[in-house]
Amino acid sequence: MARRKTNKSTGSTFGRVLGILILLAVLAVGAVGAWFYGYANRPLATAVPADFVLEPGSFNKAVEQLQKQGIIDDPQQFMLLGRLLRAERRIKAGSYEISEPTSPWQLLEKLTAGDTSMVSVKIIEGWSWRQLKASLAGNPDLKHDAVALSDADLVAALQLPVSSVEGQFFPDTYYISKGSSELQLLKRAHRLMTKKLETAWALRLSGLPLKDPQEALTLASLVEKETGQPSDRPMIAGVFINRLRLGMRLQTDPSVIYGLGERFDGNLRRADLENDTPWNTYTRSGLTPTPIAFVGEAALKAALQPAQTSALYFVARGDGSSQFSDSLDAHNAAVRRFQLHR
């Protein structure tokens, strides 16, 4: 009889332990579920509207980029959520916008959305507003509420701090919903340009003959259009800076071409260089009144951190690179070598 009592007691104890373990498991699952629901649906702390870019790479890298750009403030929880939702292999690189309060769950949905719900729009480095305008007008996936406006009306609609839209949009690939407004896209591209320009201006070399960020943007556009080989950008900027300091005219062909507009037929003639327009840097001193193209980070950096050089001239070698010279005699020799004898 005593042995039967002991077995019953042991079984009862085992049952109680098992029950406790099951209860703890249920409570743990409930706690995880409560966390999951609470965190996944709580709006992110980032201010809206917000733009951010994800470069190609692993999910860990994407989470790191999101944190650095201020989109998420708890990378560990976001990473766990992404893995629970099996989203880590479906994140797509690109340029994104958050236009309203967004939860981590909604953010993951945005980052994993397929091309069927999104359309990419490219703004190319070196393009002018005329070229971008034509590209937007030909895009059937956009709401055309910007290209029909005059430049003055567009400046007002976008609330730009300048009188021209030229150069005010950052070159990038933007992912937006089909049917989105052109104005919405351009506002986003302008916000990104403002951010990039402010960052570059804060890192500028001291003593540059540039009074404000807009002058830096204008100079960067001249550098952008004159550069055939990326490594030449700082030197080209250095030449322009030297000329500005000395009061020499910049004498850059792309600005003349920009001033000619649709009249330019692909062949720049001596008469064109003598045809005075506000953008003709052969007939007018100083910077052009507006940028002449959209510029990327490399051109901005070159304009504000130019090469320390004594060069005042450069000429295309014919292979995309430029020959730089300190004197007019050396420059004329370079012209004879690389231009007249080709």
Domain segments of the chain as ranges: 50-112, 207-340
Report whether pLDDT(17) > 80: no
Q: DSSP secondary structure string, 45-89?
A: SS-SSEEEEE-SS-HHHHHHHHHHTTS-S-HHHHHHHHHHTT-TT
Name the nearest CA neighbour of 311 among 243, 248, 253, 245. 243
DSSP reduced 3-state for 323:
strand
pLDDT of amino acid 38: 73
Assign 41 a pLDDT band (cuts: 50, 70, 90): confident
pLDDT of amino acid 287: 98
163, exposed or middle or buried, with CB in 10 Å at 0-12, 13-18, 19+?
exposed
pLDDT of amino acid 251: 96
Asked if residues 256 and 268 have their Cβ atoms less than 8 Å apart, the reply is: yes
Instruction: Please state, in angstroms and rounded to a whole number, the distance separating the CA atoms of residues 234 and 154.
Output: 33
Q: DSSP secondary structure string, 1-40?
A: -HHHHHHHHHHHHHHHHHHHHHHHHHHHHHHHHHHHHHHH
Q: Which of 23-32, 139-148, 254-263 has the lowest mean pLDDT?
A: 23-32
Question: For 98-105, what is the mean pLDDT?
Answer: 85
pLDDT digits (tens, 9 = 90+) for 112-148: 874 345 678 999 999 999 999 999 999 998 999 999 9
More confident residue, 250 or 9: 250
pLDDT of amino acid 197: 97
User: Which residue type occupies 204?
Assistant: R
pLDDT of amino acid 1: 44
Asked if residues 142 and 136 have their Cβ atoms less than 8 Å apart, the reply is: yes
Place of tokens 């999951």: 36
Q: Selecting from 3.30.1490.480, 3.40.50.12780, 3.40.50.620, 3.40.190.10, what CATH number does the domain 50-112 have? A: 3.30.1490.480
